[in-house]
Structure formats: structure tokens, C-alpha cells
Structure 1
Amino acid sequence: MKVALLQLLPRSAADSADPGWLEPVARNLAALGVEIMVVPELILPGYNRPEAHREQAQPVSGKWIQQVGAIARSAGLAITFGWAERSGDKVYNAASFIGADGSMRGHYRKKQLFGPMERESFQHGAETPPVFEYRGHRIGMLVCYDIEFPEHARVLARQGAEILVVPTANPAGYGHVNEFLVPARANENAVSILYANYIGADGDLTFGGGSLIVGPDGRALASAGKAEAILIADLPKRSEFAEAHLSTQLKELRD
């Protein structure tokens, strides 16, 4: 399966309120045979914009989901993106996986909120991260800080996930996450991970880049530095070694 992720500069306020800018990118990637595209955390309405989180948050039936669904359907590829979700009087840091037919295949509310801003803006997600099938692959979802906790990735692996999609907003100074923790999560669970970050300044916050696509052996298939980038890779199937490795680990944990 060919996948892509976008490492982006933070969007302007206007762009962060309207996902239309995704359409030409999605079309170009689909023309290259990409089946899944991943963009960073809270791309709608922007990460470091706490005043916008509550004011602009939308329900799953809202305009953002409809717009991204239309883009995915028109381009012919799946899109995973982070956004501010409203449910009643609560707001969540959420991510959704929209299939190439425009339908929502997976939805997740971030459990591990990072820092004062996130904790003031959002409620903690309570549901187990989802695993769902898409074009013959089992896919799981996490958001940013979640991937730093081994338990979350392991829960997904136990449910049969082969690919983890992880929209993120990792600040500068936390390079150990993409350098060490993401590859470790991939290797210890025999899963591929798509980790899509921002780069550059967003108000008083600077993002560290370092987005990457990691194979089930923990080795990077594609990685970004300190500039905007589009990463594309063909995900390998789990090797017999990886399957046996994971099976042995899970058996030892059960025993």
C-alpha cells in the first residue's frame, strides 16, 4: 500500500477554518498511486489556537467532515486529519480516517492530552482506540502524545492493527519522540507507523518537524527534516519474522 504524509507549516487562520486547500494536494498524490494521506494534529482549526478550539469546534455531522469527505471522494484516496470535535458541551482533540469513498472509517479522541493548553481546551478521550479494515489492511489510530505511551500501541496491535496513523503536533525540543520512541513502537508491535508533524512557528510555539514513515522493523522508510515536506512510501507487509516476534511477545504477556 502506498501512503503519504504531509509535514506542514502551521496554516493561516483562514486556511485553518477551511480544508479546501487539501484538494489539489490530494489529487496530485492520488495520481501517484497514493491510497492514504495523513496530515497533522488539529489541522482544523489550527493547533496553537485555543480560542478557536471551543469557538469553531464542530460535530462529526458538521461541515468539516463533509468537506474532507468530498475531497477524499473526488481525489480517490483516504485522508486522516486532526480536528476539534464538539459533542454537546464537550470539545475533543480528535482525528478521523475518511475513506476514498468519502465515508468515515475510523474516529478517535485523544486520550493523553499534552500540556496546559490542551488540558484547558479539551476533554480526555475515553474510548479504546479503534482498529478497522481498509483495503485489506488493519489500521489503528492515535494522536501525537498517545504514541509515547507503549500501552496504547500495544492495545492496537492486540486487535490486529498492521498500520498506525498518528497525526501529531510535536514541539521543537522533543526530537527523541520521532528519533527513538516512534521506531520503538513500530518494532515492538511489528506495525508500520505514519507520524505526521508540523514544522515552524505557530504563535509562541515552534514545531520540530521530523515526520516519518516507519516500517514494522522500526526502520524509517521515509523521514523529513526541518522544512515542509511530503513523504511517500510503499508499506511492506509484515514479514514472517515480524509475525512470529509479535506472536511470541503477546503469548508471553498472556502467560
Structure 2
Amino acid sequence: MAPVFKVAVVQLYPKPMQIEQNFNKAASYIRSAAAQGVELVVLPEYHLTNWVPKDPNFLSLCGQWEIYLKKYQNLAKECKICIVPGTIVERRDGAEKEDQLLNVAYFIDHTGEIIGKYIKKNLWGPEREYLTSSGRDVHEVFDTPLGRVGMLICWDLAFPEAFRELIYQGAKIVIIPTFWTLNDCSEVGLKFNPSAEAVFLDSALTARTFENTCAIIFANAGGPPGHGYAGLSQITVPYIGPLTRLGSCAEGMSVVDLDLGVLEDAEENYKVRADLARDDWHYDYRHSKMKERL
């Protein structure tokens, strides 16, 4: 029989620049999850600082990244729980400019060891002035207590190629810390539908689970009504769609039993991984060969 894991997704409102307060709130949810027997808890992107790169103190807070990474390692060891602490923005040693920041997700196991690390590759437009992408580094999959896991961050969701790299390496679970707002849509798009980004998220997350026969743990920020927070944190699988789905504004945590058997059933039906493994798979060309057609 396929394993069943108890996992939790946490939706937080990261108060801008209140790094210690935001950490303490996250830690409270993690301890609550551990008390419920949760094996993995996932937090949103930018959950320690919010995304305020123009604040004059933002850069100095990002210089504290090692302090808070260590705090999460200690918390994982204390609670005997795996943690993906959303993302932590890291200031490179000696960096003096905002564009020398990295947006990083870590997988910390129940002993406090870091067993996975991913630097955001596909940067959202406004991030490009401040963050450095992982560029052509390959997407990696990690062996974890929950099996083979891949990590993406926020706007990576828009790129099916990222999922294909992870699935080809055997990922069964894809974790996506996110800071995605309704206001990320253009004015034109918002005129068509003020909830366009919610449609994007719900549609893409469900589609990715089907087309890759994987589970997705998607942790987004929530916030006060009227500020454009999208929320919609969810744990999504093929056939069913969201096993749980939080609202747009509320903070909170949802705990579910993630039965990986549904992934085996979906693969038996759709045979996506089987096709990817074929020697004559017809999409094995490199995208660079197609550039002149784009």
C-alpha cells in the first residue's frame, strides 16, 4: 500500500518588516501541527519580512537569514517535524545592492538537518530589480521522509517545464511557497475579472497535479480584506483537486492526510511518467532548438 502522510499548509499574513513577530507566529503554528502528529508543515514565501524591498531596512533584515534558518532547524529538531519555512531572502556575503539577494526555500527534516535547497528561478517582473535568479541551475529533487520531493516558488507555477524536470527525476510531491496577490494582475485583466489571479491559481494547481500525477502543497500569504491578498493555500492531488483550500484573507492552518495512493492510481490511468521514461519520447529535444519560432 502507498504511504499516507499527515501534512499541514499554513497561510500567514506577514507583517511588513516584523521579522521576529512573524517568526513567533509561524513557530506557534508549527508547534500546533506537531501536537497533531503532522509530519511536514509548509509556510508561505516572504513570510518573515513581507515583500517590501524599497524599505531602507529590508536589506539589513535579509542579512539575518542565517539566524532564522537556524531557528527553524532547532524548531524542527525540538518538535520532530519536517519544515519548509516558506522562503527566506538571503543577502549574499558582501552584497551592497538589492539585486544581489536570493529567494531561497529549504527542506528541513525532523532532525533539524537541511536536506533540500532551492533558489527561485522564474522571477516575477517586479522582483527582477532586486533578486538574482538561479538561472540555468537544474531543478533538483530530494529524498525526504515523505519520499521524493521537489520545490518551486511562486511564479515557477506558470512554467510547466519546471514540473517536468522534477517529475522526470521522480518527484511525487511538489512544494510551492508563494506570495501571490490578486493585484499581480494588470489593470486590463482586472477589468475583465477582479478575481483573475484566483482563477489562475486554482486552474494551474489542479492542472499541474493531473498532467504530472503529483501532489502539490501550495502555501500562499493571506491578509486583511481590501489589500489584494489571494490566499487559496491548498493541498491538491489528481482526480480530487484540492483536499483542502483556505480562503483569501484569513490566516490559518489546515491539516490533511495525504494518501500517495491516489498518485499511483492517476499514473496507472494517465501514464505520464511512463511516457516520460520512454527511449523514444518525442519531446526530448531541447527548447533552445525552438527559440527562432517563439
> Shared fold (TM-score greater than 0.5)?
yes
Q: Any idea what the Cα deviations from partners look like across 1:94-146, whole Å, max 9, x if unmatched? A: 11111111111111111111122x11221112322221111151000000000
**Against the structure 1 CA distance between its residues 212 and 71, is the aligned structure 2 distance closer, same or farther, given a 3 Å change threshold?**
same
Amino acid at match of 1:84: V
Partner residue in 1 for 2:217: 194
**Cα shift at 1:12:** 4.9
**Cα shift at 1:217:** 3.7
Query: Aligned pair count?
Result: 252
**Cα shift at 1:254:** 4.2
After TM superposition, list the pairs within 5 Å mapping 1:112-123 onto structure 2.
Answer: 112-116=122-126, 118-123=127-132
Give the secondary-structure state (helix, strand or coil) at the position aligned to 2:60.
helix
In proportion to residue count, which structure has more strand? 1
How many Å separate the matches in 2 of 1:69 and 1:95? 13
Q: Any idea what the Cα deviations from partners look like across 1:149-190, whole Å, max 9, x if unmatched? A: 100011100010000110001111411232100111111111
After TM superposition, list the pairs within 5 Å mapping 1:91-170 onto structure 2.
Answer: 91-116=101-126, 118-126=127-135, 127-170=137-180
**Cα shift at 1:79:** 1.1
Partner residue in 1 for 2:291: none
Partner residue in 1 for 2:192: none
How many Å separate the matches in 1 of 2:254 and 2:51? 21
Query: Contact conserved, 2:198 with 2:230, CA < 8 A, in 1?
Result: yes
Residue number among 201, 211, 233 corresponding to 2:233 in the alignment: 211
**Against the structure 1 CA distance between its residues 3 and 175, is the aligned structure 2 distance closer, same or farther, given a 3 Å change threshold?**
same
How many Å separate the matches in 2 of 1:29 and 1:54? 31
Query: Contact conserved, 2:116 with 2:142, CA < 8 A, in 1?
Result: yes
How many Å separate the matches in 2 of 1:119 and 1:17? 27
- After superposing the two structures, state which structure 1 stretch, 121-130 or 68-77, moved more: 121-130
After TM superposition, list the pairs within 5 Å mapping 1:1-255 onto structure 2.
Answer: 1-15=5-19, 19-51=23-55, 52-58=57-63, 62-80=66-84, 81-88=86-93, 89=95, 90-116=100-126, 118-126=127-135, 127-172=137-182, 173=195, 174-201=197-224, 206-217=228-239, 219-226=241-248, 227-237=250-260, 238-243=263-268, 245-250=271-276, 251=278, 252=281, 253-254=283-284
TM-score (norm 2): 0.78
Instruction: Tell which structure's C-alpha radius of gyration is larger.
Output: 2
**Against the structure 1 CA distance between its residues 102 and 246, is the aligned structure 2 distance closer, same or farther, given a 3 Å change threshold?**
same
How many Å separate the matches in 2 of 1:199 and 1:136? 27
Partner residue in 1 for 2:189: none
How many Å separate the matches in 2 of 1:166 and 1:75? 22
**Against the structure 1 CA distance between its residues 136 and 72, is the aligned structure 2 distance closer, same or farther, given a 3 Å change threshold?**
closer
How many Å separate the matches in 1 of 2:20 and 2:239? 35
Query: Contact conserved, 2:30 with 2:41, CA < 8 A, in 1?
Result: yes
Percentage identity across paired residues of the two chains: 29
Query: Contact conserved, 1:199 with 1:207, CA < 8 A, in 2?
Result: yes
**Against the structure 1 CA distance between its residues 183 and 53, is the aligned structure 2 distance closer, same or farther, given a 3 Å change threshold?**
farther
**Long gaps (5+) in structure 2:** 183-194, 286-294
Amino acid at match of 2:68: W
**Against the structure 1 CA distance between its residues 170 and 84, is the aligned structure 2 distance closer, same or farther, given a 3 Å change threshold?**
same
